Structure 1
Amino acid sequence: SQYWGNNDIKNIRKVLGIGLLLSITGSIIFSSAAFIMPDKLMMIFTESDNAITIGAAYLGVVCISYPFTAATDIYVSTMRAIGEVKVPVISSIFAIIVNIILNYILIFGKFGMPVLGVVGAAVATVAARIFEFLLTIIIISIKKSPIICSIAKLNPFSKELISQFGKTALPVIINEFFWGVGTTLFSVAYGRMGDAAIASITISTALQDLLVVSFQGIAIATVIILGNEMGANNLKKAKLYGSYSYVLTFLVGVFASILIMIFRIPFVSLYKVSDNVIENVKLCLMVFAFFFPFKAIATVNIVGILRSGGDTLACLFLDLSAVWLIGVPMAFIGGLYFKFPIYTVYAMVLSSEVYKAFVGYIRYKQGKWLKNLAIELTAS
């Protein structure tokens, strides 16, 4: 987004090339592992033979979609950075429609198709992801987007750019990888607390994800706006917009928490589960409502503000220290050693968001994220 603010199309394309190279390579590695040994991977998360069998059947097929999803995500991120936000919305909406239709046909065996169940769901996801990738490429080609160019112009092997990319993006890659591993371990801990615990967390997450995705959208909008301003060397305006983002995030986060408290009981009533699970879900949602403003602030600050100026080492420290020094130990100690109820363990895990919010705010106030990376590259 800073290169777009500096009107540097050449380096935008090279960053796109680096992103495609790394993401597709990584996705192929994970896709291969999931295709070769899906059952072994499922054993990490659960001890239930039935769950392992079903999960492995799904994973062994859906992994084919990973390279397409990776490439689409890089193109979508680049388009958002240059202000082309309509294309990702259009392609994702049509992909969702394709996924829903194919799920109906393949899972239940409609229109003469065999009943495939969970494998049908996986096939539908693969088809939808391939469709989304192709539709995205077609639309941006028709629109003659500046990111559409020859492979030669995507050349990721620019010494100066690779150096800067390594300084700013490599910490993000490491951050996301180990953060993902850490949050996966949360699922491992919850899964080993029993079926009721994992069911409670799964149902709670369905509502929580709606809010988390919304604030991830705010974070993405923030990183684009601030990045464009810093790329144009409007540092004072970027700082002002950063403070606006903080205030807006806090107010909307509190409002969202109130909505969770209001709608948690009607939401839980939609599920036909045991009374124990229902009570656990209600309490888990109460816990989430309390911690959500902290989580919202931490998300927008790390993903939207600090990363916009390349302060990615600070983001790396905040995320990984929160997950690995607080979240993961709390999940295993509380859930498997002390055998606390799931809502208590969940509160212990989410306490890491309070840490991230306060320590992240200190880093934000230091102002080290206010940097024009585009000018630094041009000068070099």
Structure 2
Amino acid sequence: MKGTEVKNQQTLNDIKTRELLSMLRKIALPIALQSLIGSSLSLIDNLMVGSLGELQLNAVGVSVQIFFVYWMLLYGISGGAATFISQFYGVGDFKNIRRTTGFTLTIAMGIGLLFFIAAEAFPQYILRIFTKFPEVIEEGCSYVRIGAPTFLMLAVTQPFTIALRATQQTRLPLYASAVALATNTGLNYLLIFGKLGLPALGVDGAALATSIARLLEMGLILFVVFGRKNKIAGKLSEFFSYGKDLAKRIYRNALPTTANETLWGLGTSLYVAAFARIGITEGAAIQACNTINNLFSLAAFSIGDAILILIGQKLGEGKLELAYAMSKKIIMVGLIIGLVMGGGVILMGEPILRLFDFTPEGAVYAKKILMVYGATLWLTLYNAMHVTGTLRGGGDTRFAMLTETGTVWLIGVPLAFLTSLYLHWPIYIAVLAVKSEEVVKAMILTKRYLSKKWLKNVIENIAL
């Protein structure tokens, strides 16, 4: 026992910052670039649609909330599975990596089908949750219907993307997303404005372009895995041979993660609903700012994904103290990145805002909202590193879920509606007030992290 402790301590002493940064660059950078590509896809949509007017921009803003909620639900499912895949990768167990991926695919397809049916059958009822303006609902209904097939495509793409990432093949999903971005950009231009003899479809053109791009992305991911005989590839029967024990363990871990991301997604969508109810101009401003902020924040959040992958691998190997030591260094790097990215939101956000067709009032609102986002990005990233990184990597998903959903729903959502609809504060002050939930969240997560109760090996005693 003593010899093991000495060996573990020697390993801890061997952690060099330069080596850790090299691992982060290998894993986090492709994830960050993929997130940046996804955000750029959304930005291009909004810029082109925004040139049609504030009404069209607002319509797309509220319409994408259903896709955002679904994405968070999917991210939660795959995030819970990623804990197992990263730890299985630590011991080289590819059979259970395939089984975990197959179980994730099964659940994702079931949920994707439900969202697809809802989006096609009654989008108007869904949109009424997010806006009270009939003209916005009318404009958004066809966008939701045309974009509905992406629910099924993402249900296939995301499980395999997570499996590739968790096995440290982060560049492959990046390449697929890059092709999807180029396709979406070209089709947006052609279909929104009616170029090369095509009809000018406006908002509908943006939805159609995104659907085609997502279809191409799904095809590329499947080709990378099965066509190129990737190391996670296998017979279809292997992916769906998960037993009751493995399914139960993944389910227990993924359920809090899924509830976490879904309830967080619903909560932040209700922020948009509260702000959009102030007026069409305010709704357009918050939509543009969210899109710009995502360019920087989603790329920064790749640090959380990298923590899960790196720490999960060490926990799977049984090196708990090494995992903790690595996490401390990565979090410090993440905080620096958060400060830099926050500065980028403030400095680079304003020139991007000029590309939108805002009224003078809308431009002022948007500029001040971006300042709030930029100033608080480091804190948002700190919390994300714990929720999606340390706690999730160690399987402490229930505590992460209770903390995040509790602060969003007990503090953030009430403040959003109180400040916007009852106190009638300016939208940028309302946004700042909602950020107070991040402060409370940070205090709770820090205490849990320092307790080390999250350091767990979740794959012990699982049959090969």
Q: Structure 2: how far apart are the matches of 1:288 and 1:118?
A: 27
Q: Deviations over 1:169-188 (max 9, x none)?
A: 11111112221211111111
For residues 127 and 261 of structure 1, do their structure 2 counterparts lie closer, same or farther at Cα, with a shift above 3 Å needed? closer
Segment drifting more, 279-288 vs 259-268: 259-268
More displaced 10-residue stretch of structure 1: 27-36 or 116-125: 116-125
Distance 1:124 1:284 in 2: 29
> Of 309, 314, 322, which residue of structure 2 is paired with 1:229?
314
Distance 1:143 1:236, change over 3 A: farther
Equivalent in the alignment of 2:329: 244
- 1:159-174 matches, within 5 Å, as 159-174=244-259
CA distance in 2 between counterparts of 1:57 and 1:9 reads 43
Q: 1:366 to 1:201 in 2, by over 3 A?
A: same
1:203 and 2:288 equivalent?
A: yes
Counterpart contact for 2:256–2:398, Cα < 8 Å: yes
Structure 1: segments with no counterpart, 5+ residues? none
Letter in 2 for 1:220: D
Whether 1:290 and 2:375 are equivalent positions in the alignment is: yes
Aligned to 1:30: 115
Equivalent position to 2:162, from 56, 77, 101: 77
Shift of 1:120: 1.9
Per-residue deviation, residues 234-289 of structure 1 (Å, max 9, x unmatched): 22221111101211111221222333343444343443422222222222122222
RMSD between superposed Cα atoms in Å: 1.7
Q: What does the per-residue CA deviation read over 1:45-98, in whole Å, with 9 as the maximum and x for residues that have no partner?
A: 122222111110110110111111121011101110011112101111111111
2:410 maps to 1:325: yes
Task: Write the deviation string for residues 100-145 of structure 1: whole angstroms up to 9, x where unpaired.
Answer: 1222222222233222222222121111111111111112223312
Alignment check: 8 A CA contact 1:31 1:63 kept: yes
Question: Quick check: 102-111 or 321-330, which moved more?
Answer: 102-111
Pick closer, same or farther for the CA change 1:373–1:43 going to 2, 3 Å. Answer: same
2:386 maps to 301
Alpha carbons of 1:148 and 1:213: their partners in 2 closer, same or farther (altered >3 Å)?
same
1:287 corresponds to which letter in structure 2? Answer: V
C-alpha contact (below 8 Å) 2:343/2:375 kept by paired residues: no
Amino acid at match of 2:123: P
* Structure 1 segment 1-380 matched on structure 2, within 5 A: 1-155=86-240, 157-378=242-463
TM, length-normalised to structure 2: 0.78
Aligned residues: 379
SS of 2:197's partner is coil
What is the SS of the residue equivalent to 2:301? helix
Q: Give the whole-Å Cα distance in 2 for the aligned partners of 1:61 and 1:268.
A: 27
Amino acid in the other structure paired with 2:329: Y
TM-score by length of 1: 0.95
Q: Identity over aligned residues, as a percent?
A: 31
Q: Does the aligned pair in 2 maintain the 1:107–1:115 contact within 8 Å?
A: yes
Shift of 1:154: 1.2
Q: 3-state DSSP class of the match of 1:370?
A: coil
Instruction: Describe the SS at the equivalent of 1:377.
Output: coil
What is the alpha-carbon distance in structure 2 between the residues aligned to residue 215 and residue 322 of structure 1?
Answer: 22
Matches of 2:191 and 2:303, distance apart in 1: 35
SS at match of 1:76: helix
SS in 1 for 2:207: helix
State the SS of the aligned residue for 1:103.
helix
Cα gap change, 1:264 to 1:114, in 2 (>3 Å): closer
Deviation per CA, 1:316-371: give whole Å up to 9, x if none.
Answer: 01110111001100001111111111011101111111112221111111112211
Structure 2 CA distance for partners of 1:34 and 1:224, relative to 1, 3 Å: same
CA distance in 2, matches of 1:260, 1:159: 47
Conservation of the 8 A alpha-carbon contact between 1:215 and 1:300: no
Alpha-carbon distance between aligned partners in 2 of 1:265 and 1:23, rounded to the nearest angstrom: 38
What is the one-letter code of the residue matched to 1:307? Answer: R
d(CA) in 1 for partners of 2:279, 2:376 = 24
Higher relative contact order, chain-length normalized (CA < 8 Å, sep 6+)? 2
Deviation of 1:378 after TM superposition, in Å, equals 4.8
Higher mean C-alpha displacement, 200-209 vs 51-60: 200-209
1:170 and 1:268 map into 2 onto residues whose CA distance is 39
Distance in 1 (alpha carbons) for counterparts of 2:344 and 2:205 = 35
Indicate conservation of the 8 Å contact 1:230/1:238, yes or no.
Answer: yes
Of 267-276 and 223-232, the range deviating more from structure 2: 267-276
1-structure distance, mates of 2:412, 2:369: 16
Conservation of the 8 A alpha-carbon contact between 1:5 and 1:228:
yes
With 48-57 and 330-339 compared, the bigger mean Cα shift is at 48-57
